Structure 1
């Protein structure tokens, strides 16, 4: 039965109006024809507003749109649109009323309830978790010095038996050795010929070291700083292509230089364009939403295709190298695939993908043509780090066919099934509170987990307690030190508030050089650390967040400077005292040129002024080479 028919019946029974609905499942788009609702009291008062009638709100609900009402003002400079907060909130309240009423209405008819429940269960609630047990694995060629844990053997066996897998293993689970053993066992069994292991730059030496520790006779090729420089890149790839390797270990940043044949990516885009052209011929003449969406998707693909036309494949491609499996450690760095959505105004949704993620997507699709079912293995202790939409990207990488089978290949259809929107008061950069709608929670969690676990092997921190001993926190739990806002910071928040209002009042899209909300947020984050990051001439404020950090770090240094700590082998570390790690992605040395102040430099200079020897303070950035980072962290 057409899913639109139930919505039509709902409107007839609850609003007393006949409407037409066009649904295109290939795009997850809906068009509602309900002009009469814009003329009736039911449509403009009970179920809608005078500025957003019930028919328009139905279209919003079905297409996962968040209604926004704008006022248009005319002056000497032209027209400008300003968000009407009151009318917008009124429309959103009516939208929520419609959604709740539909949920209640569905259950009022037992036959309808049974039918819809059957449709849902047949489509989504039909996965039974497959169980894996690798206890039988002997791992020929592996060093007898290591005894792998049960969850490691399970992960190895899962990759061997089912191919493409997400190793969602918590920190400390031993993912590197799991990946190494999975590669070697697949090689031994003839399931793959040449694997490419992609790791973060700072983990390159460690990954190679652990791989060889477990498999001393493994033939691995490592793309480090000495052999993957620009002038040596072609030679390295020639070695990778012409010799027999168990694994090629390469960094995230170097992976982008391994190209797929441009003809393949062009064909991928051409196939998508042909699909959209075919869908356009099937779109109902009244289905405006689907038609516009198809045109937008086509434009995006055309732009990407034009960019490929100028690309030159100067280096050997992944096909010529012979790679038939890609294994990515810390895969959360590739989490942002772009997608089309009507929900882009919602917080918690970022449809703008990264080139890094698209690059992996294309390469995995290509390798899939060479080694079906074994193209990609991802590993991370934190699969989702920022937005709920990242789960959709993971499923596109490893569960694309399952999404398509369930009609969830478009983000909005997926989000309407598994996500929920909430509106809460949130503090703004200006210090004021504002109601913010956010894609903030999952629904239908059991079904989503079942789809995820169809390709994911999960190890939680609690699963590691018998293997990994985590030291107790001396204070019992993490301590949060709060710096009170200084008078100068409160004054600066008023400047931020003025900038936000100017941006909201601006008509049209931002032009190069215009202030944008992201810049306001960034300045607010910097100012919260130290006002000198936004106003270099500002005086030093003793009670700001940066100086609170300095005083705390100095206190710990002074309290522990005479303490002796032991290495795992029982020997004492050469340098007494506790080691402290200070993290900040803002105020680094690199921003000193643009912002006129560096939090990093201030921390070091202040600690030295207070009495900490300069030799006991190091910047990680000064040890950016792989060997240097290893020396710093091992010391």
Structure 2
């Protein structure tokens, strides 16, 4: 069961009494949890009041002396809005705010100075402003050392396990080099304007809103070519990790960080690990789960299958596809995670009514369904090259075509429609026209109250080079204006190019000057607070990611909406008619409806798994939805019985796979049992060798340190300082590299053992040879001093 914190006793001195009375039990519990337990993820549903919890928790932490200068980090366009809420809650608060515009070199220095010298109750920064306040290069160097040590451990493990392939070694060496180059670049960039560094500002607690914005953390992993494992890292995420680590050092424990998000996992299972690294670094380290690969081996599963690459070629790919051992993972995650779904909360939000409006497919769309089915059949039969057509491309075209065929590229339209049919598409009525009817009807019936509406479409968005081409947005606006809605009451989120323009747009919607607001999930989802008078929302298409449904609905169905009820319209293009068992012709299953159904099921399953409301031990991946051949064929036919066949075929295939896995596991176990006696014999001999080496070791601790080395000039030298020994080893390795000399060479004597160096194309390795042999790589970098180099040799010998 999740940990429960009861905050009902909190009086919250200094808070506006009206606000104190408005706080709900779950908010008081969250405030107390942050104060009592430290690092916390507030994974509450959209509109649950997470920022209010953060503001109140920050002031309680300060009042109790647990922290002195808390910092709330919010989306770039929200600092002023959050500041207004903070002042309402705590009228006497000493508050400092800074947005993205404050980040020129001069303004950054001024901001850092004000933060450092002021006695602030709360500092509110935008995401951009926060990431522009750098840590001191020495602090970064310390974190880099930790990371490079982990990479070095991987390098040695790969060698000792016989995995010393050129590719593995090259990747690890590149990683080490990149780490060192990054730290040099960051250090140089941060000293240009002589700013005060983050660790000198006095900030000692970070509240980070919409923490999914820092999900792209650099992973130290051997799963470099596995889909679902992020391959790109953002500086913002790297910077945030270092600052969370600094908070732990500052507090001496896992304290000082609070994350806030309604969607802890949005697109990959790796995000679960990222959240834990930010909040449970020491815990993961103690349990041996800090390394991403170790975490994956416990809680995820990599599956292998044929997939289409972005270039359109068919390749066998590995994908991080399944979340395993959910009960055990939740037990660990719940130590820091406060997960509350809509079902858990009795919030004063509008009632939510979903209306699925099915729109008959036009004759041209029925042709389109046949067309995509033929394409899918051709792909399955391998009559077309993957570079020419593939299932991701078909899925994209289906998403466009079910909204309005005019969203499709002209060359695609020309493959199944005649020029005359294309010309007369403007006379067809798609689900966009159904949405226009509803939007105008609601606009007209709510003119007295001047209520507002939101329209979401990720398809047909306005682009700079789209002039003269059909877009859903321009068509919506032109038709609504023709019906009688004033142009100034319709706006696109895409019209806002800056944070200030976006804030102005949001304000106009809240003030009911703009009554029809149109946008995509990416631009009008997270951080869009315009709910005050929203009476209806319209989903023209099914979003790519399952969790995007949550973000869309959360723009209207949330606290602060004055309407008792919000209607969310989902427009679905019907499929091809088919005859049921009574011979009656009915509307059939459509690709559009199936996309909605699949996305909704995934979203609900992920939410239930996080909250512990699903007893399953595993869940499938949460990545973007791409239709399979069978799904396209079944939905294009319109006959739901074919879809049922697809589901049964998938179940049978899964059972066969489980049987094969069981058989293979039994074979593997039998083979292991056959080899165990020999392995026991080898390990026993290895232990005896190590014991013998331990017994013969001459102590070199402290002032007893002595080593005999053969220097570059061939002369034998006797050294009693580790720094000189390290420098000599580095010089020998550099000399071997310069002369391209490969092989194993005697280096001298150390602690009673022969001391060798081996040089090959992968670099230099030093060996201490006794009854057993002990290895360590030689790293020649400006970051590694001679003393540090030799420290690695000493650790190798002691291990």
TM-score range, shorter chain: 0.5 to 0.7
**Distance (Å, rounded) in 1 between the aligned partners of 2:311 and 2:146:** 47
Structure-2 residue corresponding to 1:250: 125
1:263 aligns with 2:174: no
Matched, 1:219 2:94: yes
Tell me which of the two structures has the higher relative contact order, counting C-alpha pairs closer than 8 angstroms and 6 or more residues apart: 1
What corresponds to 1:359 in structure 2? Answer: 239
Q: Name the structure 1 match of 2:588.
A: none
SS in structure 1 at match of 2:465: helix
* Alpha-carbon distance, 1:151 to partner: 1.4
Alpha-carbon distance between aligned partners in 2 of 1:503 and 1:263, rounded to the nearest angstrom: 57
The 8 Å contact of residues 308 and 315 in structure 2, kept in 1 or not, is answered as yes
Describe the shift of the 1:310–1:352 C-alpha distance in structure 2 as closer, same or farther (beyond 3 A).
closer
Give how far 1:350 is off: 3.0
Q: Is the 8 A contact 2:135 2:198 kept in 1?
A: yes
Distance (Å, rounded) in 1 between the aligned partners of 2:240 and 2:89: 27
Tell me whether 1:306 sits opposite 2:181 in the alignment: yes
Question: Which residue number in structure 2 is paired with residue 272 of structure 1?
Answer: 147
* Contact 2:77/2:99 (8 A) holds in 1: no
Q: How many Å apart are 1:447 and its aligned residue? A: 0.9
Deviation at 1:260, TM superposition (A): 1.7
Native 8 Å contact 2:440 2:483 kept in 1: no
Shift of residue 224 of structure 1? 3.5
1:601 maps to 474
Contact 1:168-1:458 within 8 A present in 2 as well: yes
Bigger CA radius of gyration: 2
Distance 2:396 2:147 in 1: 37
For 2:179 and 2:427, the matched residues in 1 are separated by 46
CA distance in 1, matches of 2:384, 2:200: 50
Structure 2 residue corresponding to 1:327, chosen from 198, 207, 212: 207
Match of 2:218 among 333, 338, 347: 338
Q: Which one is further off, 151-160 or 416-425?
A: 416-425
Residues 204-227 of structure 1, C-alpha deviations (whole Å, 9 max, x = no match): 333222211111111111114665
Following the alignment from structure 1 to structure 2, what is the Cα–Cα distance between the partners of residues 253 and 499?
45
Separation in 1 of the partners of 2:236 and 2:43? 20
Deviation at 1:533, TM superposition (A): 5.7
Residues 43, 340 of structure 2: 8 Å contact kept: yes
Q: Is the 8 A contact 2:229 2:320 kept in 1?
A: yes
**Length, aligned pairs only:** 488
The equivalences for 1:375-454 within 5 A come to 375-420=256-301, 439-454=320-335
Structure 2: runs of 5+ lacking an equivalent? 414-421, 513-799
Contact 2:404 2:431 in 1 (8 A): no
Query: Compared with structure 1, are the counterparts of its residues 293 and 266 closer, same or farther at alpha carbon in structure 2 (3 Å cutoff)?
Result: farther
Local SS of the residue matching 2:441: helix
Residue equivalent to 1:511: none
Cα 1:524–1:462 shift into 2, 3 Å: closer
Structure 1 residues 630 and 480: alpha-carbon distance in aligned structure 2, compared to 1, 3 A threshold = farther
* Structure 1 residues without counterparts, runs of 5 or longer: 1-127, 507-513, 566-571
1:135 corresponds in structure 2 to: 8
- Aligned to 1:154, the other structure's residue is in SS state helix
Q: Does residue 164 of structure 1 match 2:45?
A: no
**Residue matched to 1:551:** 433
The verdict on how the C-alpha distance between 1:197 and 1:553 changes in structure 2, with shifts beyond 3 A counting, is same
Which residue number in structure 2 is paired with residue 616 of structure 1?
A: 489
Higher strand share: 2
Name the CA shift for 1:479/1:215 in 2 (closer, same or farther; >3 Å).
Answer: farther
Q: TM-score, normalised by structure 1?
A: 0.66
Kindly indicate whether the alpha-carbon contact (under 8 Å) linking 2:407 and 2:459 is maintained by their aligned counterparts in 1. no
1:9 corresponding residue in structure 2: none
Residues 556 and 269 (structure 1), Cα distance of their counterparts in 2 relative to 1, 3 Å cut: same
Per-residue CA deviations over 1:222-268 (Å, capped at 9, x if unaligned) read: 11466556764432333222211112112223322122223322332
Alignment of structure 1 residues 20-419 onto 2, 5 Å:
130-146=3-19, 147=21, 148-224=23-99, 227=102, 232-277=107-152, 280=155, 285=160, 287-288=162-163, 293=168, 296-311=171-186, 312-313=189-190, 314=193, 315-343=195-223, 346-372=226-252, 373-419=254-300
Report the Cα distance in structure 2 between the residues aligned to 1:490 and 1:353, rounded to whole angstroms. Answer: 41
Counterpart Cα distance in 2 of 1:389 and 1:243: 39
Q: Secondary structure at the match of 1:555?
A: helix
Larger mean CA deviation between 619-628 and 236-245 belongs to: 619-628
Alpha-carbon distance between aligned partners in 2 of 1:520 and 1:452, rounded to the nearest angstrom = 38
What is the deviation of 1:361? 1.1
| Map of 2:654 onto structure 1 | none
Matched, 1:633 2:510: yes
Q: Secondary structure at the match of 2:78?
A: helix
Deviation by residue 1:372-404 (Cα, 9 ceiling, x = unmatched): 332311011111111222111111111122222
Name the structure 2 match of 1:61. none
- For the 8 Å contact 2:227–2:317, the answer to whether it is kept is yes
Q: Distance in 1 between matches of 2:144 and 2:427?
A: 52
Match of 1:136, SS?
coil
Residue 296 of structure 1: how far off its partner (Å) = 2.2
Residue of structure 2 equivalent to 1:110: none
Q: Distance in 2 between matches of 1:244 and 1:295?
A: 50
CA offset at residue 535 of structure 1?
A: 3.5
Show CA shifts across 1:119-168 (max 9, x none): xxxxxxxxx85432212111110110022222111111111112111111
SS for the counterpart of 2:452 is: coil
What is the deviation of 1:343? 4.7
Q: Is the Cα–Cα contact under 8 Å of residues 429 and 524 in structure 1 kept in the other structure?
A: no
**Cα distance in structure 2, aligned partners of 1:490 and 1:616:** 40
Alpha carbons 2:226, 2:320 under 8 Å: kept: yes
**Contact in 2 for aligned 1:224/1:626 (Cα 8 Å):** no
Deviations 1:591-613 (A, max 9, x none): 43699664422332233345443
- Contact 2:148/2:179, CA 8 A, preserved across alignment: no
- Tell me by how many angstroms 1:455 deviates: 0.9
Take 1:359 and 1:587, find their aligned partners in 2: how far apart are those partners?
35
- What's the counterpart of residue 36 of structure 1? none
* SS of equivalent residue, structure 1 residue 288: coil
After TM superposition, the score normalised by the length of structure 2 is 0.53
Q: CA deviation at 1:292?
A: 5.9
CA RMSD for the aligned pairs?
4.4
Instruction: Name the CA distance, whole Å, in 2 between partners of 1:502 and 1:453.
Output: 51
Residue 796 of structure 2 corresponds to none
Give deviations 1:525-551, integer Å, cap 9, x for gaps: 667756666646875674899x63431
**8 A contact 2:39–2:279 mirrored in 1:** yes
User: Are positions 1:564 and 2:446 aligned together?
Assistant: yes
Does the CA contact (< 8 Å) of 1:167 and 1:456 recur in 2? yes
8 Å CA contact 2:42–2:259 kept in 1: the answer is yes
